[in-house]
Structures are given as structure tokens and as C-alpha cells.
Amino acid sequence: MANENTLKGLFTKEMLEKLDQEERNEEEKEIIEKAIEIGLEALS
């Protein structure tokens, strides 16, 4: 999905990049994961 040339694909790509940043703690990662869930639901 992150490879799609759509708004959904761009959102997914950006959020996964944020999630992969090493300086994130577990709480921040959980927040980003929830944001991805909500964002994809909103874009559907």
C-alpha cells in the first residue's frame, strides 16, 4: 500500500517512516500505529 501513488499510499509511507525512526519509544510507536489505523479508516 505504501507504494501506491495515492493519498492513502502517501499517508502510509510517511507514517511508516515515522514509525521506523529509532529515537521513538514504545508509547510513541503505539500512538503512531493507532494514527495509521484511524487515518486509513478515514481515507477508506
Global model pTM greater than 0.75: yes
- Domain parsing of the chain, residue ranges: 7-43
Model pLDDT, residue 5: 84
Buried b (16+ CB within 10 A) or exposed e, 14-44: ebeeeeeeeeeeeeeeeebeeebeebeeeee
Report the chain (44 residues): mean pLDDT per 10 consecutive residues: 82 92 90 95 92
